Amino acid sequence: MNSLRLLILSTPVGPLGSGRGGGVELTVANLARVMRQRGHRVAIAAPAGSVLSGQPAARTDALDCQIEIIQVSGSCQPTAQTQNRSAPVIVGSALANAWAYARQAQANYDLLINFAYDWLPFYLTPFLTTPVAHFVSMGSLNDCLDEAIFQLSAQFPATLGAYTRSQADTFVSPTGTAPLRWQILGSAIDIAQYDYCDRPGDSLAWVGRISPEKGLTAAIAAAVAANRPLKIFGKLETTDYWQSIQQSLSATAAALITYCGFLPTPQLQQALGHCQALLVTPQWVEAFGIGVIEALACGVPVIAYRRGGPAEIVCHGKTGWLVEPGDRAGMVAAIAQIEQIDRYACRQQAETMYSLAAWGDRCEQWFNQIISGTIGS
């Protein structure tokens, strides 16, 4: 198979390694690594200050140094989930500058891979001579982006990638428009970077950006109702929200809750592996939930709402429990039954379903189809 020249255009909401981009940052890093491992030339255009962080030094030397990072200046986008459906366009942005670079350098690449959840790359695609694969990282949140996706799909069918079917289904075709054709790609992690832990402590875990849509309050309420300690790992994205959570905690509840900060992957997996279960309580349709597969890789069962990506990942009764969204009593009952879940079955699910090798195959096949023009046939 030919070696491809790939330019990944990262999320413009923050530098790689900052945590502002959530799971997309790990997806971008892992895609770059798996494509480089396969002999492709990979560059990432990302907001200034980006690093491929969080991996052991040996790994960084061997692989990450072979991935070029093009540091793009300009202001970062607000995250789409903190805006309303008709959010205004930002000018002078890292997003616009990244795509100006893509236009100028496109002859050096066989494929541009878009990770920006924004209308602009979709709008620009017909003006470019190098094909574009669009990896859409969230469900429908913005009217302008939805329209740009539907317009693009009419001209470039099946250049749209999504993590999960539930995420893709949030984009509803306007009357008279053909349904979107999604490549459902899933996601993956480098399982070798995650240690299996079969002797957990008594804490529960919560992993994610601390922002209202991620539903931390519901996880805290369930842990407190179950009288179990809860360790919180993640980027402090919305400070007011976090402060209001802290102010609302009773002394008993506060004693159960520990905020552990935003940890690089090696430290996160160590700490997460020692937890009894991961609680996943998002208020929105979670597109995937990389934290879910990271937990499974460590042998940590997952208790999640039966909605979105996590509900497609967790095998109810085998690698965790699914409960109806908002059902606190159901969460508490699931916590009480967590020891029925075999931690090794969790690790095995991560190994068999979420390895980089299988995901790399799917992405590479999709890229080759787009480049060869066979994707629409």
Question: Residue 321's beta-bridge partner residues?
Answer: 303
- 136, 204, 268, 302: which one binds ligand UDP (CB under 6 A): 268
Query: What's the CA gap between 276 and 302, in Å, rounded?
Result: 9
Q: How many helices and strands, by DSSP H and E, does the chain display?
A: 15, 13
CB of 105 to ligand UDP, least distance (A): 28
Quick check: 208 binds ligand UDP (CB under 6 A)?
Answer: yes
3-state secondary structure of 209: coil
Residue 310 interacts with ligand UDP (CB under 6 A)?
no
Inter-residue contact 171 to 139 (CB < 8 Å): yes
206 scored as a contact of ligand UDP (CB under 6 A): no
d(CA 326, CA 345): 27
139 lines the binding site for ligand UDP (CB under 6 A): no
Q: Which is nearer to ligand UDP, 196 or 259 (CB)?
A: 259
Q: How far is the CB of 5 from ligand UDP (least distance, A)?
A: 27
Pairing type for strands 230-233 and 132-136 reads unpaired
The values of phi and psi at residue 259, to 5°, are -90, 120
Taking the least distance from each CB to ligand UDP, the nearer of 111 and 235 is: 235
The candidate with the shortest Cα–Cα distance to 116, out of 78, 171, 147, 165, is 78
Nearer to ligand UDP (CB atom), residue 249 or residue 263: 263
> Smallest distance, Å, CB 26 to ligand UDP?
4
Query: Which of 290, 297, 356, 370 touches ligand UDP (CB under 6 A)?
Result: 290
Helix (H, G, I), strand (E, B), or coil: what is residue 207?
strand
With contacts defined by CB under 6 A, name the span among 169-177, 248-256, 282-290, 300-308 that binds ligand UDP. Answer: 282-290
| Residue 45 touching ligand UDP (CB under 6 A) | no
Q: Which two tokens stand for residue 246?
A: 């802290």
* Near ligand UDP by CB under 6 A: residue from 99, 206, 288, 305: 288
- Work out the angle between the directed axes of helices 290-297 and 265-273 (0-180°, nearest 10): 60
Give the count of residues interacting with ligand UDP (CB under 6 A): 18
Pick between residue 124 and residue 278 the one whose CB is nearest to ligand UDP.
278
Among 44-52, 261-269, 329-337, 351-359, which window interacts with ligand UDP (CB under 6 A)? 261-269
How far apart (Å, rounded) are the C-alpha atoms in residues 300 and 296?
5
CB nearer ligand UDP, residue 233 or residue 354? 233
The residue count of the chain comes to: 377
Q: Quick check: 262 binds ligand UDP (CB under 6 A)?
A: yes
- Taking CB under 6 A as the rule, does residue 230 contact ligand UDP? no
Residue 63 touching ligand UDP (CB under 6 A)? no
Quick check: 23 binds ligand UDP (CB under 6 A)? yes
CA distance 8 to 112: 6
* Helix extents (H) in 56-159: 57-62, 94-105, 119-124, 143-155
Q: What distances in angstroms separate CA 290 from CA 35, 68, 139, 189, one per listed residue? A: 19, 24, 15, 8
**By the rule CB under 6 A, 234 interacts with ligand UDP:** yes
Q: Using CB under 6 A as the criterion, which residues of the chain lie in contact with ligand UDP when the complex forms?
A: 22-24, 26, 207-209, 233-234, 262-263, 265, 268, 288-291, 294
